[in-house]
Structure 1
Amino acid sequence: MQCKTKLIPLALALAFAGAASAQDTIRIGHVAPLSGPNAHLGKDNENGAKMAVDELNAKGITIGGKKVKFELQNEDDASDPKQGTAVAQKLVDAKVKGIIGHLNSGTTVPASRIYAQAGIPQISPSTTLPAYTRQGYKTAFRVVADDGKLGGTLAKYAVQNLKATKIAVIDDRTAYGKGVAEEFAKGIKAAGGSVQIVDKQFTNDKATDFSAILTSIKSKKPDIIFYGGMDAVAGPMLKQMKALGVQAKLMGGDGMCTEALPRLAGDGLLEGNVVCAEAGGVTGAQEKAFEDFRARYKKKYNQDIQLYSPYVYDAVMTMAKAMQDAQSAEPAKYLPALKKVSLQGVTGNIAFDDKGDLKDGALTLFTYKGGKKTKMEVVH
């Protein structure tokens, strides 16, 4: 009997300790494709999120008078809209305090409805489809410029800098690929003059054989082929362009503008034959912060950043800053602070307009030389 009396206070003490610990842990959901053809980009995103959380925890952040620990709940959407909405509901049910993701527009947009209904703030590090922030959801934010700017900038460069007169367009029919291709085509049309879109072709995000569409395009003798899609398809497409003797530059958006493209394209990556744009970009003094991040990432993971990890890192830091500004991790309480947040991130200044879009979003134009992704210029 005496032994039981001593055990009761101990059990209560352990229970209270567990409750206190749970209160001090802030769980954030992160979603990206960790399987499938875009898994290398998804893992890069996950690494960026982990790096931000590790650094926040090392600093010992205090919110609402309590020292907190950030924790990630990573989920795989496999770039599939159905799986994306399933993991979105899973994260809502887990009562996470915020969402970083998704990577693809095709999964981000349907998932955003679920987060909005639950009132959970969502910051996408890579979704460029304009529709994402045009749905009227107060919870949707992004830290990159959208397809309107990306496609329009590439179209302007094609006409003014590359002096193209005949252009072919291919897209992979995903929300991202179709969207960026349409914005590029709008930009070409706006350029006027003698520039023509001489062919439009479609593939899918898992295709490996492009001989039929490339043969059709070759007969039109375009100066440029614009591809709306990801690097997993753009790489093999470049190989087949070379094999078929297609004499045209390949242009595309951030989905194909990766460090992995040389490996995926092999000998199809001809010197300076690819021009692509990445949403984001820094110049001057900000370049040092970006390069410091690159060095820390390489040291931590023993590999180079692929594409979006710096934006994921900034997205996590932005969410944490809003929580600190509001002195609360409760979504309803820190959401107003997120709308007004201002953070000097590694990808530039993070601040949002009334739709949740990044203010003054930059783009960086790249090509590939010596098998390396090479920056050409930053455009605001």
Structure 2
Amino acid sequence: MIDRRLFMKGSVGAAAAVGLGAGMSASWSRGAVAQEKTITIGGSIPLSGRAAETGLNVHNGYETAIKYINDELGGVEIGGEKYKLDLKMVDDASDPARATTLIQRQLDDGVDFFLGSFGSNIVLPTAAIVDRAGKPMVQTGGGSDKIFTQGYKYVFGFYPRATRQFQSTAAFFGSLQPKPKTFSVISTNDAFSKTFAEGAKTDCTAQGLELLEEYELPAQVTDTSSVLSSVRANTPDVLVCTTHDQNSLLIARQMIASGTNVKLLYQALGPQLSSYREALGNYANGVTGATYWEPDADFKDKFFGDTKTFVDYYKKNYDRPLAYHTAGGAACIITYVTAMQNAGGTDPAKVRDALADIDIMTLYGPVKFTEDGDADPIVMGAKVFQIEGGEPVIVFPEEVAMGKPSYPVKPWADRA
């Protein structure tokens, strides 16, 4: 069920919506001499469908930052004027075609600023629409190379492009003792998974690991038994799954059921979710994944003050567990507002230029984009975690590690 407590309703009667031309208005009470201004930020997000688990996390992050700025800070000053923020996110139901229709409708209504959906297959077509319209999009849900190699000037992402995201994880594999010798890759037929798999193959090979097999599953996976049979017949030291949340969970469950054991299982998405870990129970221990943020991080933030304030404020308003996508969603808002302040106003082209130049610290960590709009792979690269006692523990890089990696991991039968 969607938590509705933080839903940001537009100001009624006393709002002039900047960025929502069709809804731009000012209501004057008797004797009123002031006009409250509102910046509308639109977009679509999966609140239902296959991507809803993470879509809800991103959405909650967007809402938390909006609510904090409006309710706790009384709005934000931009160009010498005070503004409230109005979030207009609509449910795209994990459907790219629906998302493009919804985004075009918001553009037709005059929305100037957009947040992204979750999943490269949704972000990619919606990014094309807003870029063509000359309206900025800041997103924490798409990392496919295709988003950042089309020459888009108005689209900014919180993750390095997919082919650059695996560099730190491959370095982690190379640091293990004894060093793994072989790896195989399972991907699905979608933009993110396929390009992430290419990066994994390149970076693992550069670390001296030999690629045994690569397997591609349909985007909508219902059974992986034939692929897992092949994995058992030609077993790698490391199995890399560049798959989305629900597909990763399905693969792990069927590996357990079929006794498909490897020395290390890495899954790009899935293990970061408490729902994944709860579903697998003790079997989740030993699985590795990537994270870009953890709740005990200690970063300064211009609006929240620090990460702890964000975490505490979020927990006051939501029962849903925190995930790095949640913090990333909140940081998208912080980045947007800071860019508007740096631009001295809400002109979309000037805000776009300010986003391109952004170099700030947020509750999520540092934010800096490449000239193509994706996250700087060094400044905003992934950290590797391994599940221990049902919780993700960062094990690489060593400078920020909270524990030591376990390798080789126990067979499934010994984790029950």
1:302, 1:179 → 2: CA distance? 34
Equivalent position to 1:39, from 46, 52, 59: 52
Equivalent position to 1:121, from 109, 133, 136: 136
Match in the other structure for 1:203: 217
The 5 A counterparts of 1:4-153 are 17=27, 24-58=37-71, 59=73, 60-153=75-168
Higher mean displacement: 147-156 or 217-226: 147-156
Length-normalised TM-score, structure 2: 0.80
Q: CA deviation at 1:254?
A: 4.1
The 5 A counterparts of 1:230-269 are 230-248=244-262, 249-254=264-269, 256-266=271-281, 268-269=283-284
Higher mean displacement: 351-360 or 182-191: 351-360
Matched, 1:215 2:229: yes
Q: Which amino acid aligns with 1:302?
A: D
Q: CA deviation at 1:325?
A: 2.0
Structure 1 pair 78–256 and aligned structure 2 pair: CA distance change class (3 A): farther
Aligned length in residues? 362
1:67, 1:28 → 2: CA distance? 16
Equivalent position to 2:327, from 301, 310, 313: 310
1:379, 1:358 → 2: CA distance? 22
Match in the other structure for 2:206: 190
Q: Which amino acid aligns with 1:362?
A: G
Paired-residue identity, %: 26
The 5 A counterparts of 1:295-334 are 295-334=312-351
Contact map agreement 1:172 1:202 (CA 8 A) in 2: yes
Equivalent position to 2:188, from 150, 155, 172: 172
2:328, 2:296 → 1: CA distance? 16
Q: Larger % of helix: which?
A: 1
2:137, 2:171 → 1: CA distance? 32
1:177, 1:266 → 2: CA distance? 26
Higher mean displacement: 146-155 or 97-106: 146-155
Match in the other structure for 2:242: 228
Higher mean displacement: 122-131 or 47-56: 122-131
Q: CA deviation at 1:178?
A: 1.1
1:233, 1:32 → 2: CA distance? 19
Q: Which amino acid aligns with 1:166?
A: T
Contact map agreement 2:55 2:117 (CA 8 A) in 1: no
Match in the other structure for 2:390: 371
Q: Which amino acid aligns with 1:71?
A: D
Structure 1 unmatched runs, 5+: 1-14
2:200, 2:194 → 1: CA distance? 10
Q: Which amino acid aligns with 1:17?
A: S
What secondary structure is seen at the aligned counterpart in 2 of 1:260?
Answer: helix
Contact map agreement 1:280 1:362 (CA 8 A) in 2: no
Match in the other structure for 1:4: none
Contact map agreement 2:158 2:328 (CA 8 A) in 1: yes
Contact map agreement 1:57 1:70 (CA 8 A) in 2: yes
Structure 2 unmatched runs, 5+: 1-24, 400-416
1:253, 1:21 → 2: CA distance? 50
Equivalent position to 2:289, from 258, 261, 276: 276
Q: CA deviation at 1:355?
A: 1.9
Higher mean displacement: 125-134 or 96-105: 125-134
What secondary structure is seen at the aligned counterpart in 1 of 2:369?
Answer: coil
Write the deviation string for residues 181-238 of structure 1: whole angstroms up to 9, x where unpaired: 111011122233xx32222222234323211111111111222211111121211221
Q: Please tell me the root mean square deviation across aligned C-alpha atoms, in Å.
A: 2.7
What secondary structure is seen at the aligned counterpart in 2 of 1:358?
Answer: coil
